Amino acid sequence: MGVNVAVFGINGLLGGPVLEALTTTPFGSKVASVKAITRSQPKEKWDKVDYIVADITKADDQKKVVDAIKGVDVIIGLNAPDASVYSGLEAIIPQVKPKLYVPSQFGAELAGAQKVLPGFLQPKVDHSNKVRKDGIKVVDVSTGLFIVPGSFAYEFVPQFGINAEDATVTQRGDANTPISVSALEDVGKVVASIATTADYSKLPDSLRVRSDQVTFAEVQETWSNNHGKKLNVVKQLSLDEAREEAADIWGKGFDPSKFGYYLQAIASQGSGKGLVFESVDNDLVNPGTWEWTKYKRNTN
């Protein structure tokens, strides 16, 4: 007997890694079924996964989904923080009554991040709390920043202070701050490990995990080596200056184009502020089951 799992939001970054982890060694043998709910046709299909195309923001589709996933043990949310999607999930989950819900809380530890940027990604916090109030076991997972070769922390780098267009750096705080980072494949395995845990009641309400730690300086050096360009530091802000700047910019209202900046501002404030984890739960979710993926420093 294995667990029955339903996954929402499979067409994003984590969809593939989570479905792969749920259907392959070492976790696939512990999973009886996987149902993937998606608003549009899946970008790729995985064996052993049943696909349900539905728009959970619509009442008729919510009923369709409830009927299709009744009896699942675990629901996993990989969706973006969209109010209408959260509303749909909040209508569906109490009717299904899973034993465990893992929402899309991946990234910064929000309690810490909100010490720097008050209310940062508050809809995620509100969503988890709402589902908990319905009597469902919820486990929030913080993973730090994503590392994706060819993308995050390699090519997309504003969160590390780099302006790739003119090869400049604005350094906020200490360049040697050890920022928590995670590879997508590791996040998928973490989610699968949680989903196949024997006793969900023993899981804490929040978990911090990371594949590695990487500093601003290491990412800056790696980007410079990969592109054959010397980065010019055009501004250096102290910890206090970075905090004051963040308060001023954040106070003007959320701007999605500044999301990379927000992440750097959070990371700049160091331990306990959302992206520099004081402690991690790596051993709880991965007691030697797989090897954590390391950041590829100074690659060419």
Sequence-separated contacts (24+) of 22-25 with Cβ below 8 Å: 22/188, 22/191, 22/192, 22/195, 23/47, 23/48, 23/49
Burial (CB count <10 Å: 0-12, 13-18, 19+), residue 37 = buried
* Domain range enclosing 168: 158-179+213-269
Sorted by sequence, the CB contacts under 8 Å of residue 224 that are 6+ apart come out as: 167, 230, 231
The percentage of residues in the chain with a pLDDT greater than 70, rounded to a whole number, is 99
- The total domain count for the chain is 2
Answer yes or no: do 37 and 170 share one domain: no
β partners of residue 131: none
Averaged pLDDT for residues 158-165: 97
Strand pairing of 162-163 and 168-172? Answer: antiparallel
What's the CA gap between 58 and 74, in Å, rounded?
22
Answer yes or no: do 96 and 166 share one domain: no
3-28 residue pLDDT tens:
999 999 999 999 999 999 999 999 99
Answer yes or no: do 38 and 171 share one domain: no
230-285 residue pLDDT tens:
999 999 999 999 999 999 999 999 999 999 999 999 999 999 999 999 999 999 99
Q: Please state the pTM of the whole predicted model.
A: 0.96
Answer yes or no: do 88 and 172 share one domain: no
Where residue 20 sits, what CATH number does that domain have?
Answer: 3.40.50.720
Do the domain assignments include residue 253? Answer: yes
Answer yes or no: do 112 and 234 share one domain: no
Q: Does the pLDDT at position 300 exceed 70?
A: no
What's the CA gap between 164 and 158, in Å, rounded?
8
Do the domain assignments include residue 105? Answer: yes
What's the CA gap between 284 and 70, in Å, rounded?
29
